[in-house]
Structure 1
Amino acid sequence: MKTWQSIQQVIDYIEEHLDQSLPLTELAAIACLSPFYFQRLFKKLVGRPVMEYVKLRRLAKACQLLAATDRRILDIAMEMGFNSHAYFTKVFKSAYDMTPEVYRLEQPALQQMLKPDLTMMQTVIAENDSFVAESMVLTITRQKVTQPEYYQGVVGKILIANAIPVGGTTGVNQADVIWTEFHQLKKQHSELFTEDIQLGASFLKDTSVDPTSLVPAECFDYFAGGRVETLDEDLETWVVLPGEYIVCGCEAENTPEARNIAIAKALGYLLGTWLPSQQLLTEPYSMEKYYPAENPTTAYQEVWVAPLPL
């Protein structure tokens, strides 16, 4: 067994036993590694110290229970290994900048520490081939756009530190806030959005030419919008220009949680594993395309990047 497979074995074990005690020595024994080497390897592959990872996965599970049940917060805290209401509240607020009570009441979209699938980091699929990852299917293709596609919506700012690494940060999902703003706009301009295809784009505006700009360098811009045939000059516009694109398609269960996890993992796989393996550079933006579900059980979405000429 390879060392990364040993760590994946531990990750799977942690996920199945979040409501139980998880001593470091026990986890290291499952990986058949010394505690010292296990901790170093786990942090290298997962991006977090092992006990911090356990804490964040427990918080993610606690959020599910807070949203889906009316159980007492103390009971949820104790089940997830937090020994008091006060300590649970402190840890929860540190991760999400709100108390469990506020989260239960408002239920905003949160960024969670996702359970990693290290197989994705070790597998480079061929173009036009598919890879069955945990709970989803990924496919890499090249697509040519011959006519420009127009999307209109809104643009907002996202803190880079709150979004990268994908699936490894916590806090309020800032992109979801921007999408909520777009969906409100869409209701007001329903005549424009005749196609139910939506697009999100992450990019950086060049503010260096404006010395009075107050936009902090640690932010990137995020566009959220829908496809249109006619343009409204008062709305933000994103154009998918003619050219060649590398597309990572992902098919997953048609639930909000599964869709969010799938697009995050597809983005992380394309940018963090596949493109570096091909030694490819891309234009300084990425796009997410969201398609209407063809059936009630499965959702399909894509991540697009534009490769630079070699």
Structure 2
Amino acid sequence: MRFSYFVLRRWLYSILVLFGLSILIFIIARMLPGDPARLALGPFALQEQVEHLRHVMGMDKPLPLQYWTYITGIFHGDFGLSFQTRRNVALDIAHYLPATVELVLVAIVWVLVLGVPLGVLAARYKDSWVDNLVRVMAFIGVAVPPFVVGLFLQLTFSYLLGILPTTGRLSLMTPAPPLRTGLLLLDSLIEGDFSALGDALKHIILPSFAIAMTGIGQIARLTRASMSDVANQDYIEASRGFGIPNRVIAFKYMLKPASIAPLTILGLTFASELSNAFLVETVFAWPGLAKYGIRAILRKDFNAVMGVVLIIGLAFVIVNLIVDILAGYVDPRVRIKHEEGE
């Protein structure tokens, strides 16, 4: 299969998934109990005022027409009005999203920096105490809920050792750099504000690691299994016969073919990190999209809930699209499997 055709088909699938997701979100939001107009005006509003607002919001129109108005508004950057902030949901998301993106990106760095080397190490020393230790660590990472990991990290590094902060993105005494991207680490680098950079790094270590624990365990186990399969290939045995050091064989000849499976699951890991962020942001009082979404759910702010879910779905689809394209580029067999699957 030609690579360009493979990419085009994955794009079309992604668009269909987003279209289906938008319909599902809209229907579920309309099925939830409570009148958005009544919630927006408060319990003491007159019925005439509620009916007028329902008309302004288009809620007295047929559902297909309501969906068309909603989806066309999204294409124009209009996610509707948030009842809790009285602003366009798109503006609220733009305000809260960078904090969550930064947290998840740092968590992904943890996953790659720790998960892959641990998997390689376990495969290289298979069935040894090193392998057993890595497998136990991976099991703990997958089994223990992220918010429990977060609480344990807070207890250990904040309350007992007192070396890392527990909440927020910056200390109260540290002035925030001018927000160009909303990513504090990047903005601090752009401004050359290394004091803010160091403080932001200290604040993000614990929550990002708590989010990453599940992904580290998954990637470590999958990398180990993939490299163990590759280790039995004839060309690996031939490389050992030529006297090539095991370290070179592991990282140069085994890691690339073994990376297809971890690369494929990386998209699911990203989705897992996003879902973990909803709990971890609450534990660490992190001012991100998850905190905004939870508050919207508790207050039945339907437009905000739909906006948050749609943005998370969009992120999930985009990441999986990128992962599929990378996997198809690295290994043509992936493209063949997609073609046979149809």
- TM over 0.5, yes or no? no
TM-score, with structure 2 as normaliser:
0.23
Of the two, which has the highest radius of gyration?
A: 2
Greater relative contact order (Cα < 8 A, sep 6+): 2
More strand per residue: 1 or 2?
Answer: 1
TM-score, with structure 1 as normaliser:
0.24
